[in-house]
Structure 1
């Protein structure tokens, strides 16, 4: 039970990190585009 819970939390953490990373990359790209155009 405990081992399964740990695996679930780890998977959740990895998914969360990936989503945040992708969102951050997209945000920084838009930011760079805005800075270069002005």
Structure 2
């Protein structure tokens, strides 16, 4: 709990973010700026 728990949660979130970037084909966060999204209405 406490500070250690917060650090653990932040580490887990950072790991998940890196995994998501990898699945999107981005080697790092800077490359994510080049991603394009498509909006589908309806």
Q: TM-score, normalised by structure 1?
A: 0.61
- Higher-Rg member (1/2): 1
Larger proportion of helix: 1
- Show structure 2 runs of 5+ residues with no match: 27-42
Report the RMSD for the aligned CA atoms in angstroms.
1.4
Query: Could you say which structure has the greater relative contact order, defined with CA pairs below 8 angstroms and 6 or more residues apart?
Result: 2
Q: For this pair of structures, how many residues does the alignment match?
A: 26
Runs of 4+ in 1 over 4 A off after TM superposition: none
